[in-house]
Chains A and B, each alone.
Chain A
Amino acid sequence: MDRNQSRRQVAAMKQSLFDQGLLDEQFIQLEELQDDANPNFVEEIVTLHYRDSSRLISSIEQALKERNPLDFNKLDTLMHQFKGSSSSIGAKKVKAECNLFREYCRVGNAEGCMRSFQQLKKEYAALRKKLEAYFQLARQAGPQETACRSK
């Protein structure tokens, strides 16, 4: 596959992620921080996000098991962190699920929390898969594709 074709594929994939409402402006902001010296900055940040997210998801899962009653404050605090991390990478849909979860926490709706958390995990897994494919393609296409900043 020639260079231009690869780059077009990468651009198309990125556009699709935006069209599906999975990513927002923050992702672009991060890409603009990349340059020749830091060509993989976004991927590095996203990898850090995965690490934080995995930990938080485990903690939330654990907290949801401790029912009778649920500790909504604790859940809200954990979700606040998860939301922050998601927001920082531009994970639009996941962020929306976080907000929904927190609403359920606020009104003390345990069922709502559980349901919304299941949905959130699905969204998170889906985005993660797509981003991994995106970064792999981007790396193959060469650093010029994602590095937008001229020095």
Chain B
Amino acid sequence: MAIVGDFFRHNLTEFLHDSPSAAPELHVLAVDDSHVDRKVIERLLKISSCKVTVVESGTRALQYLGLDGETSSLGFNSVNVNLIMTDYSMPGMTGYELLKKIKESSVFREIPVVIMSSENVLTRIDSCLEEGAEEFLLKPVKLSDVRRLKDFIMKGKAKEDEKRSLKRMRSIDCSPPPSATCSTISLPCDPSPSLLSPLSSKKARL
């Protein structure tokens, strides 16, 4: 009985902390064709305690995310990017085109995308926001912009994590196991001592 309890308690911990990055560090992918701007945004993000990946083009960004069709997509956010910041005017693929590609992806569409531009063109801003950009920042980007952005994203991420754990807890429904050691949460099981039945009933649902 105690062994069963331990087993479920262990799985319970994994359920609730399913995100491997329990650390609150944000991973930002920054895209800019200007070497100067890449260095600056990297510094701004590092000072704001973010993990940074910087690339020089939309094409490289898609490659990094695994969306370029060359590598078969893993079907999930394996690079664990929490925010994408991209310049608007870039040769080849513009930031707007990159934004569209990201929003078309089932894996990455939920990731907030921020557009940076030195030009305050209303129609440009409108079309980016319409396409799903989180925000439009005027260059040169300041530390206060990055800090504000980070706070906003972290709040959203915290809400998402909370929602996800609540969802998990609710989707598991059944009577508490006979061992009382871990019944803060109900687990899929019938009171049979065999550990196979919860797993097989799960499989059937899939």
Are the chains A and B members of one assembly? Answer: yes
- A interface with B by C-beta (< 8 Å): 26, 29-30, 32-33, 38, 41, 44-45, 48-49, 51-52, 80-81, 83-85, 87-89, 149
Q: B37 near A88 (CB under 8 angstroms)?
A: yes
**Residue B124 CB within 8 A of the other chain:** no
Closest Cβ–Cβ distance, residue A27 to chain B (whole Å): 10
Is A87 a contact partner of B118 (Cβ separation < 8 A)?
yes
A48-B36, A88-B40, A88-B139 are known contacts; what are 13 more A-B pairs with Cβ within 8 Å?
A: A33-B43, A41-B43, A44-B39, A52-B34, A52-B35, A52-B36, A84-B36, A84-B37, A84-B118, A85-B37, A87-B140, A88-B37, A149-B47
A29 engages B140 (CB within 8 Å)? yes
Most chain B CB within a 10 A radius of its CB, from A26, A38, A84: A84
Distance in Å from the Cβ of B121 to the closest Cβ of chain A? 12
A85 to B36, CA, bound (A): 7
Q: Which of B11-39 contact A (CB under 8 A)?
A: 34-37, 39
A81 touches B34 (CB 8 A): yes
Report the bound CA distance from A84 to B88 in whole Å.
12
Q: How far is the CB of B42 from chain A (nearest CB, A)?
A: 10
On B, residues with C-beta under 8 Å from A are: 34-37, 39-40, 43-44, 47, 89, 118, 139-140, 142-143
A30/B40 contact (C-beta < 8 A), A52-B35, A87-B140 known: yes
Question: Mind listing 16 A-B residue pairs with CB under 8 Å?
Answer: A26-B140, A29-B143, A32-B143, A33-B40, A33-B44, A33-B143, A45-B36, A45-B39, A48-B36, A49-B36, A84-B37, A84-B118, A85-B36, A88-B37, A88-B40, A89-B36
B118 contacts A83, C-beta separation under 8 Å: yes
Residue of A nearest to B144 (CB): A29
Contact indicator B140/A88 (Cβ below 8 Å): yes
Nearest chain-A residue to B87 (Cβ)?
A84
Q: Smallest distance from the beta carbon of B204 to chain A beta carbons, Å?
A: 56
A44 to B34, CA, bound (A): 14
Q: How far is the CB of A83 from chain B (nearest CB, A)?
A: 7
**What are the residues of chain A within 8 A of B35 when measuring CB–CB?**
48, 51-52
Contacts of A32 on B, CB cut-off 8 Å?
A: 143
Q: Which of A33, A44, A83 has the most CB of B within 10 A?
A: A33
B142 touches A29 (CB 8 A): yes
* Least Cβ–Cβ distance between B198 and chain A, in angstroms: 51
Q: Contacting A87 at CB < 8 Å: which of B44, B139, B143?
A: B139
Top 8 nearest A-B pairs (CB, nearest first) are A88-B36, A48-B36, A26-B140, A33-B43, A85-B36, A88-B140, A84-B118, A49-B36
Which A residues lie within 8 Å of B47 (CB)?
33, 149
**Docked pose: A125 CA to B56 CA in angstroms:** 28
Closest residue of B by beta carbon distance from A38: B43
